[in-house]
């Protein structure tokens, strides 16, 4: 549940609304732009949101629990802000997004509507369409390594440690690392990990045998 200033809540309850969406987009390379759908600049929290990019909010779906919420937006390309070349190069993929609803007549009144990332961007004849995903999407990202009997290094990379192996291939098996490349010390798998048979097996027929089956 979002907390909204009482004065702003009163504004939202009026018949004629004077609010607009303000978008703050921050790319991974440090570039940040502030845009608004209003036809004049809007100052919100000491930052000036410039008009002209014609970004429009589509939907803002808030999901309960740990499921990520989603949103969408469309817009016309602005050469000095969100260029077609930057979109094609993927520079805006994964950009952090904050969306605010601000009263342009009293820009000290406003509220956060959405925060998340640009997930998917597609080109259209008149501009672009962007899918946004909330910050809870971070909870779906794998952290750490996946346990596997096979090596997860790439032959010849820093984790593999071998040099001068151009043109050769590796099937990622422990036996190949040992017998073909003599590189067991850098093997990045778990060849001795118990298989599903051991995990699903029941107790030993003779009771506790010290951990062996």
166/123: higher pLDDT: 166
pLDDT at 83: 75
Single pTM value for the model: 0.54
Beta strand spans in the chain (E): 19-26, 32-36, 42-44, 47-49, 56-61, 70-75, 96-103, 110-124, 127-134
pLDDT at 77: 46
The pLDDT tens digits for 126-179 are: 666 667 776 654 554 556 677 888 999 999 999 999 988 888 999 999 999 999
> Does pLDDT of 84 surpass 70?
yes
pLDDT at 64: 46
The pLDDT tens digits for 52-61 are: 655 555 555 5
Q: Which domains does the chain have, with CATH numbers?
A: 6-140 (2.30.110), 143-197 (no CATH)
Q: Give the chain's mean pLDDT.
A: 76
Task: Give the residue among 60, 57, 96 at the shortest CA–CA distance from 73.
Answer: 57
The pLDDT tens digits for 103-121 are: 888 888 888 887 888 776 7
Close Cβ partners of 166 (under 8 Å, ≥ 6 residues apart): 156
pLDDT at 138: 54
> Does pLDDT of 24 surpass 70?
yes
Q: What is the mean pLDDT of residues 178-198?
A: 87
Task: Give the residue among 185, 178, 134, 137 at the shortest CA–CA distance from 160.
Answer: 185
pLDDT at 171: 95
């Amino acid at each position: 549940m979002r907390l909204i200033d009482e004065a702003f809540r009163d504004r939202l309850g009026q018949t004629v609304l004077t609010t607009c969406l303000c978008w703050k987009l921050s790319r991974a390379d440090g570039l940040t732009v502030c845009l608004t759908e209003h036809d004049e600049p809007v100052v919100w929290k000491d930052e000036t949101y410039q008009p002209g990019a014609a970004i429009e909010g589509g939907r803002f779906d808030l999901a309960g629990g740990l499921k990520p919420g989603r949103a969408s937006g469309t817009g016309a390309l602005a050469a000095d802000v969100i260029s077609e070349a930057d979109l094609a190069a993927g520079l805006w993929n994964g950009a952090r997004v904050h969306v605010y609803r601000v009263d342009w007549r009293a820009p000290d009144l406003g509220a956060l509507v959405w925060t998340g990332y640009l997930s998917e961007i597609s080109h259209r004849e008149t501009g672009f369409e962007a899918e946004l995903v909330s910050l809870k999407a971070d909870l779906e990202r794998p952290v750490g390594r996946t346990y596997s009997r096979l090596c997860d290094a790439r032959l010849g990379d820093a984790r593999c440690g071998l040099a001068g192996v151009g043109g050769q291939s590796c099937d990622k098996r422990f036996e190949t690392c040992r017998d073909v490349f003599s590189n067991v010390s850098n093997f990045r798998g778990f060849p001795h990990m118990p298989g599903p048979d051991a995990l699903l097996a029941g107790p030993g027929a003779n009771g506790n045998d010290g951990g062996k089956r």
